[in-house]
């Protein structure tokens, strides 16, 4: 579905507006300077997985980049469910977003009010069944994740995703699904919009980059919890490219990707092994059995 033809309603600053009637002024500060924050959530069978955590991160992201939300976590929680109900959706992608408006185009943003909107739409699997069986292919890129001394990487901020967009566009043109990026120290970081894990099926150990220059994803944290319950040892640490040879499984995590196996990274092949399959199954079972 093309989102420019999205039907239904969007929650916009406390009111419902038809999606086709929603307009954002051309001179909005966020459009010119990236002063916006957002979340990506998933509703399964009418329940939004870890909505409280997503709302808390949205508010924290706004505080970190001076886009303070005028709504509490509880108000956002209620608004999300009202938006799903208004659109008669139970299985959906949920996109809350907050951004600075259009009173001033000075680089300083504080003169602009903060707007908040929530959109929902039907969301099938991010990758097809064939891809999930064989694993996705990850390319290499010259671009690296930002230095945490230059931007608050723990904020899910609109402007931070621009480089990821450049990288993913090139990946898809070249026949890859995504790219695995480095951090400024030359360590493995993450993909353009998902975290990465590696595994050794022989010793049941899992390795994932420490959240130095990457967003510590909510799905990432959930999968670490699931792995611990399974008795897997999870190592959060610096990972070098030279270590690729010691791993035989890899997978990525994210709200959209859920738990997706990786079949190839920078030309090295990985199997879709038992650890990856088990954690994907555990995650799918968890999100479909949400308890409030």
Structure tokens at 130: 């064939």
Helices (H) and strands (E) in the chain, counts: 7, 16
12-28 pLDDT, tens digit each: 999 999 999 999 999 99
Could you give the maximum distance between any two Cα atoms of the chain, in Å?
Answer: 59
Question: Would the CATH topology of 3-121 be identical to that of 129-287?
Answer: no
d(CA 63, CA 58): 9
Out of 82, 156, 185, 277, which one is annotated catalytic? 156
Burial of 73 (0-12, 13-18, 19+ CB in 10 A): middle
Determine the straight-line distance between the first and last CA of the chain, rounded to whole angstroms: 31
d(CA 27, CA 257): 33
- 3-state class (DSSP) for residue 267: coil
Instruction: Clarify whether 156 is annotated catalytic.
Output: yes
pTM for the complete prediction? 0.94
99-118 pLDDT, tens digit each: 999 999 999 999 999 999 99
Least confident of 85-94, 117-126, 184-193, 258-267: 117-126
d(CA 207, CA 200): 9
Domain ranges of the chain: 3-121, 129-287
d(CA 201, CA 205): 7
Sign of the CA dihedral with 150 first, then 139, 194, and 12 last: positive
d(CA 180, CA 189): 7
Question: Which CATH number among 3.40.50.1220, 3.30.200.20, 3.30.470.10, 3.30.2290.10 corresponds to the domain 3-121?
Answer: 3.30.470.10
Residue percentage of the chain with pLDDT more than 70: 99
pLDDT of residue 292: 45
Looking at domain 129-287, its CATH class is alpha beta
Across all residues in the chain, what is the average pLDDT? 94
């Amino acid at each position: 579905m093309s989102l420019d033809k999205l039907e239904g309603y969007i929650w916009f600053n406390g009111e419902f507006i038809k999606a086709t009637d929603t307009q954002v002024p051309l001179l909005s500060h966020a459009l010119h300077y990236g002063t916006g924050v957002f979340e990506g959530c998933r509703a399964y069978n009418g329940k939004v997985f870890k909505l409280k955590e997503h709302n808390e991160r949205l508010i924290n992201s706004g505080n970190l980049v001076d886009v303070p939300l005028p709504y509490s976590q509880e108000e956002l929680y209620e608004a999300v469910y009202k938006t799903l109900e208004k659109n008669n959706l139970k299985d959906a992608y949920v996109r809350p977003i907050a951004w600075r408006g259009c009173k001033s185009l000075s680089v300083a943003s504080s003169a602009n009010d903060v707007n908040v909107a929530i959109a929902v739409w039907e969301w099938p699997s991010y990758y097809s069944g064939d891809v999930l069986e064989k694993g996705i292919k990850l390319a290499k890129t010259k671009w690296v994740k930002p230095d945490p001394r230059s931007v608050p990487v723990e904020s899910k901020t609109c402007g931070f995703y621009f480089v990821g967009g450049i990288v993913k566009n090139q990946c898809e043109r070249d026949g890859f699904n995504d790219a695995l990026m480095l951090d400024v120290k030359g360590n493995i970081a993450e993909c353009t919009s998902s975290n990465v894990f590696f595994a050794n099926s022989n010793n049941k150990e899992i390795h994932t980059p420490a959240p130095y220059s990457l967003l510590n994803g909510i799905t990432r944290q959930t999968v670490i919890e699931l792995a611990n319950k399974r008795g897997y040892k999870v190592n959060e640490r610096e990972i070098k490219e030279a270590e690729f040879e010691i791993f035989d499984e890899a997978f990525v995590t994210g709200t959209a990707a859920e738990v997706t196996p990786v079949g190839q990274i920078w030309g090295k092949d990985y199997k879709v092994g038992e650890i990856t399959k088990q954690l994907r199954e555990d995650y799918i079972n968890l999100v479909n059995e949400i308890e409030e």
